[in-house]
Amino acid sequence: MGVNIERTIDAESADALSLMYRRAFEPLRTLTATKQTLDDSEFRSMLDMDQVMKFVGRTGDGTPVALAMMTSELKLIPWINPEFFIDRYPEHHATGRLFYIPTLLVHPDHQRGHWFVGLVKEMSLVAGAVHGVAIMDCCRYNDEELGFLDMIHSVADRHTHHSFEEVDSQRFFALCPDGLRRRPVDRS
Ligand SMILES: CC(C)(COP(=O)(O)OP(=O)(O)OC[C@H]1O[C@@H](n2cnc3c(N)ncnc32)[C@H](O)[C@@H]1OP(=O)(O)O)[C@@H](O)C(=O)NCCC(=O)NCCS
């Protein structure tokens, strides 16, 4: 029982993790402007990749109940622009110490236990041991309503000396026309 880095994920575990992934992110379906999940084939192929570290929390009988992934292959993350991060942390990238955390979740039936703490601890130890940089993204809902970033910071703080800063953000705007002007405003 606990969180371990697993190199290969057997088929039965992959099925359980895939189901857990869908269930954990279901509440965010209508709460965020960008998709928070990979599709099933993308998710499973990430589970299969050697370059992706899988931090898996399992109960005593081996049932997976928590998962985080971390990789230094930034090009594997479909929604980011690796060049932005590489430009910002060139030495970390060149030495394989620039990591991305594409997902982190706890099975809905096991949340508010010790699993989140276990995942963040193990990832902090891996990144901390090499003085790395671990990048993650967070939707506004998880930040403001769940306190996700504070949670990460407070748990990582138990294991590493670090700074924790926002490196970029993307906002969404709605232009809502409320009728047409009778005569366009002349700006000339
Ligand atoms: C985000 C998620 C992983 C959190 O897991 P959880 O089990 O509910 O986490 P908990 O509420 O038990 O909190 C874990 C720790 O953070 C700390 N914490 C919780 N809220 C906090 C806050 N607002 N500020 C600081 N620390 C906080 C807690 O103290 C706890 O540590 P402790 O048990 O040692 O005291 C879980 O809600 C989830 O899987 N959500 C769906 C997927 C998702 O949105 N993932 C994140 C984006 S990738």
The verdict on residue 164 lying in a domain is: no
Ligand 1 atom nearest to 102, measured from its CA: 48
Total of domains in the chain: 1
CB-ligand 1 contact for 149 (6 Å cutoff): no
In the structure encoding, which two tokens stand for residue 184, read together?
């366009």
User: Quick one: pLDDT at residue 182?
Assistant: 87
User: Quick one: pLDDT at residue 183?
Assistant: 83
Strand 98-106, strand 133-135: pairing: parallel
Q: Categorize the per-residue pLDDT at 184 as very low, low, confident or very high, splitting at 50, 70 and 90.
A: confident
Q: Is the pLDDT of residue 188 over 80?
A: no
**67: region left, alpha or beta (phi > 0 left; psi from -120 to 50 alpha):** beta
| Atom 12 of ligand 1, residue of closest alpha carbon | 112
- The 10s digit of each residue's pLDDT in 116-164 is 999 999 999 999 999 999 999 999 999 999 999 999 999 999 999 999 9
The verdict on residue 142 lying in a domain is: yes
The verdict on residue 163 lying in a domain is: no
The verdict on residue 72 lying in a domain is: yes
CATH of residue 62: 3.40.630.30
Ligand 1 atom nearest to 27, measured from its CA: 41
The verdict on residue 79 lying in a domain is: yes
CB-ligand 1 contact for 155 (6 Å cutoff): yes
The verdict on residue 162 lying in a domain is: no
Ligand 1 atom nearest to 115, measured from its CA: 7
The verdict on residue 167 lying in a domain is: no
Q: How far is the CA of 1 from the centre of ligand 1 (A)?
A: 19
Domain that holds residue 19: 2-156
> Nearest to residue 52, comparing CAs of 66, 30, 35, 69?
69
- The 10s digit of each residue's pLDDT in 81-126 is 999 999 999 999 999 999 999 999 999 999 999 999 999 999 999 9
- The 10s digit of each residue's pLDDT in 33-64 is 999 999 999 999 999 999 999 999 999 999 99
Mutate to test the pocket of ligand 1, among 154, 157, 158, 164 (most ligand atoms within 8 A of CB): 154
On the 0-12 / 13-18 / 19+ scale of CB atoms within 10 A, 34 is exposed
DSSP 8-state class, residue 144: I
Ligand 1 atom nearest to 147, measured from its CA: 23
Q: Dihedral through CA 17, CA 152, CA 166, CA 138, nearest 10?
A: 30
> Nearest to residue 38, comparing CAs of 67, 12, 7?
67
The verdict on residue 104 lying in a domain is: yes
